[in-house]
Structure 1
Amino acid sequence: MTVLSGLWSRATYAVARALLAADPSLLLVRYDLTGTGYIRRVRSADPDPVDEQRGGLLDSDMSRTLPGAFMPDLVQLARTRPHHHVVLMPPAVVEPEAVAAACAGCLVDGVPLSDLIRVDSYVTVVHGDYLLDGLNNGSDLATLGIQAGEDDHRSLADVVVRQIEYADTLVLWGSRTDGGPFDTAHLRALLRHLAPWAAQLHLADDLIDATDLAQRLLDTRRHRWDVPDTLARGLEGFTLGVHEPHPSSDVVTAVFRACRPFHPQRLHEMLWAVNAGVLRSRGHLWLASQPDVVISWDLAGGGLAMRTLTRWLADTPEEQWHQFSDHRRLAASVEWHPYYDDRHHYLVFIGIDLNTADLHRTLTHCLLTDAELADGEATWRGYTDPFAGCFALPTQPPTAPRPDFHETHPRQP
């Protein structure tokens, strides 16, 4: 199965039709949200649907629960059409990670779904005309009238970055040659900075070589099930971003890494300055006043979310370390510090013409000074902390993160 996602459905469906044209045996399973539920269509190269069904509302937030409804359909296809390739096209606002979570947690008659279906790759189609607007748009989906349910409070930018960052392959649709920030070269550079781990393909116009496209998108075996979600990548030893302080097509990535903790008050005061002009920032950090908690950092569309991600190994009894992944334990052992243990910061900032030197100075100013370090942890825990009460310490490593601290920053011209 290839999962084909994209917020701009017309471009995504155009790619799906090209794949069908290249392989008559291929099946497309497409889901679209309606006002009262969803509609599922199964298509082949023939223009008439192989099958079409409607389903009612599953939950108040179908972006999370709808992927679970895909599973019975996929199981039926796997059993009736074994050894066939299927392209799954979720609704535009469903994130591919939700599909992956549904696949990972699905048992069929006590047998894991992975025994019936092999996920080949996750492909995201991005429309070049709207990418930059989408990344800058902090409006929630309900305001735009495209939410997946009454409890769906995600922003448009959240959906765009999560679809891009989870992809194994990115397809940029359309071509711009106006020389401005929407130029195709700029957009391709921006996608490379956002997801340096993903393969990238550019479709310049409506004339598509369907056979070549199918060879580049199907049976690639690009998906790695053991790679964590984006915010946990750096903690598990995977690349979170590539430091490129000199602009490539005006796009800059600044990677900030340090071990000494942030002072909570200074960091809070500098949140706006740190994110001014930033399109996307992500990663994890720790606060001197809350040294037990790994805190995630997640900015898109001008809105910053900080969450409890997990706990540090240093604050977990060693007999419980087996609950952490092999990647996490290996990464911690490689970078273990004699004083800070496995605590550290790993933050990535992506934007247009960012001043990386100023950004680094601002973040360094937020770290504890030598004198403050000398006061010790007991003093740190007593600091005035604007984040107090925001980050609950997880009871065990697998605890899922929850949104705790949000702040929206005005976008600079």
Structure 2
Amino acid sequence: MSADELSVVIVGGLHADARRAAVERLLAEAPGSVALHHDLSTAVGGTVRRTVRDRTGVTDTGETPLVNDCACCALREDLVPELERLAAGGLTRLAVVELWDSVEPKAMAEVVAASGLTVSSVITAVDPALVLPYLANGDDLAERGLAAAATDQRTVADTFARQLEYAPVLAVADSPEADDEDRALLAQLHPTARRVPIGSGHPGNPAGAPAPSAQSAPEAPARETTPAVDAATDAGAGAAAGPEAPRSPLLEAAFAGFDIEAAAAAQHPACALLPVEADECGVATLVWHGRRPFHPERLYAALEDLTCAAARSRGRFWLADRPDTLLHWDAAGGALCVEAAGPWLASLPDAAWELVPPVRRAAAALDWHPEHGDRCQHLVFTSPALDRDGLTRLLDYCLLTDAEYAAGREAWSRLPRPFDTFLEV
């Protein structure tokens, strides 16, 4: 079997029990499939432990040393050779890469694709009852034993948000603790995702998030045999028998195909596929637009209130004192990250537009304004009990007033620059 005949599906997520349930189901449904997992918790001893298993159990184990004191770097170095070995063996049609808790799928998908292997899907496994607790968890990964390197400064909340929003497929556990609000929150955070059920997944709490309920499902053996699994196995065997045989939703999603460039573009601040307005089961999403720039001092003073107003907020914005810089807003777990994401296209000379990816030009065209070009405020806030009116009033208050706007760019350039501390200018 050549590398282009091996399909690689990446399954990740901080909800470890849901992730394991999704992987076990794929192994049961796809005959001849294997799962690779690199356990980064062993990095304290200087190595990362690799496990390869199929539906019957572990078939191979090994260790790889850290690279530059980084467990995630070791994973990158070891993963592709293992996948190439499986492809050369000719016996594996589907390789399921089960990522360790805090490993983000974007980096791994790009590493696998760059090697010439086929990434057939990226799936994040989710327990709906744990979505809000994890989004609200501002703890550093290092505090929870989940850091991938000594320099890893990510938090539980921002890591979970990126895992959730990158994947086009969400494998959703049937959690007895989840209610309609939990499911509405998940749907609004990633409305374009394909959500496929994976049956029962016993809830876990590896990141130290507060448990949604004092009751939890009983512990089940890793290779649980249930009617659902039996049916899935039959469906998987049928899938192997011929192209016309039906596949389960999860197995179908695993072979659906994955576009690396489109996935990256969907996360880029300039052309991100942000959620739309919604209001259901006590969860709301506010999409706020503005055509004037923010007054930097007023916005800076409002940051704490804006960051804490929603479980998740993201988008792009512009400040009056730096009108040519596209700024990225990314908040979860009560913490905000503001980063410069390059220039607005309107600030570039015409000749430079040829160097800009088509998807970026298309996104700019959708926001184009006769005076400001693609400069705009586009922020999205999603949360239970969202105060839409209060949030809108606060955001509007942070924009330039009529008089400030009329003063023009020269006057704007003399405004205070409190965001220099964020942007390290």
Which bracket does the TM-score occupy, shorter chain normalised? 0.7 to 0.9
Contact 2:284 2:384 in 1 (8 A): yes
Number of aligned residues: 374
Equivalent position of 1:101 in the other structure: 110
Q: 1:264 to 1:193 in 2, by over 3 A?
A: same
Unaligned runs of 5+ in 1: 107-112, 178-182, 392-403, 406-413
The structure with the largest helix share of the pair is 2
In structure 2, relative to structure 1, the CA distance for the partners of 1:277 and 1:345 (3 Å cut) is closer
> In the alignment, which residue of structure 2 is the partner of 1:81?
90
| Percent identical | 32
CA contact (8 A) 2:128 2:186 kept: no
Equivalent residue for 2:350? 318
Q: What residue identity is the alignment partner of 1:198? A: A
Picking from 335, 349, 353, the partner of 2:367 is 335
Write the mapping of 1:37-76 to structure 2, written as runs, cut at 5 A.
37-47=47-57, 49-63=58-72, 66-76=75-85
Alignment RMSD (CA, Å): 2.2
Partner of 1:367: 399
- Do 2:119 and 2:258's aligned partners in 1 also have CA atoms closer than 8 Å? no
Distance 1:65 1:285, change over 3 A: farther
Residue 11 of structure 1 and its aligned partner are, at CA, apart by: 2.6
Q: Point out the more displaced range, 353-362 or 221-230.
A: 221-230
Structure 1 partner of 2:245: none
Q: TM-score, normalised by structure 2?
A: 0.82
SS of the residue 1:51 aligns to? strand
Answering whether residue 215 of structure 2 is matched by residue 220 of structure 1, we say no
1:289 CA displacement: 0.2
Structure 1 window deviating more from structure 2 (148-157 vs 12-21): it is: 12-21
1:351 is aligned, of 348, 363, 383, to 383
Shift of 1:229: 5.3
Alpha-carbon offset, residue 69 of structure 1: 3.1
Matched, 1:309 2:309: no
Indicate the residue corresponding to 2:160 in structure 1: 160
- Going from structure 1 to structure 2, the CA distance change for 1:265 and 1:61 (only over 3 Å counts) comes to farther
Which residue of structure 2 lines up, in the alignment, with residue 193 of structure 1?
A: 188
Aligned counterparts of 1:362 and 1:55: Cα–Cα separation in 2? 52
Distance 1:358-1:327 versus aligned 2 partners, 3 A rule: same
Q: Which residue of 1 aligns with 2:238?
A: none
Q: Are the counterparts in 2 of residues 64 and 98 from structure 1 also a CA contact under 8 Å?
A: no
Which residue does 2:313 correspond to in 1? Answer: 281
Equivalent pair of 1:37/1:58 in contact (CA under 8 Å): no
1:139 deviation in Å? 0.5
Q: Partners in 1 of 2:422 and 2:367 — Cα distance?
A: 28
| Correspondence for 1:294 | 326
Q: Please list every run of 5 or more consecutive structure 2 residues that lacks an aligned counterpart in the other structure.
A: 1-7, 202-225, 236-247
* Residue in structure 1 matched with residue 212 of structure 2 by the alignment: none
CA distance in 2 between counterparts of 1:323 and 1:65 reads 34
Partner of 1:202: 197
Answer yes or no: is the 8 Å Cα contact 1:127–1:174 preserved in 2: yes
Which of the numbers 288, 295, 308 marks the counterpart of 1:256?
288
Counterpart Cα distance in 2 of 1:214 and 1:366: 45
2:30 corresponds, among 7, 23, 35, to 23
Contact 1:166 1:229 in 2 (8 A): no
Task: Report the Cα distance in structure 2 between the residues aligned to 1:214 and 1:204, rounded to whole angstroms.
Answer: 11
Following superposition, the deviation at residue 131 of structure 1 comes to 2.7
Task: State the match for 1:266 in structure 2.
Answer: 298
SS state of the match for residue 351, structure 1?
strand
Q: CA deviation at 1:295?
A: 0.6
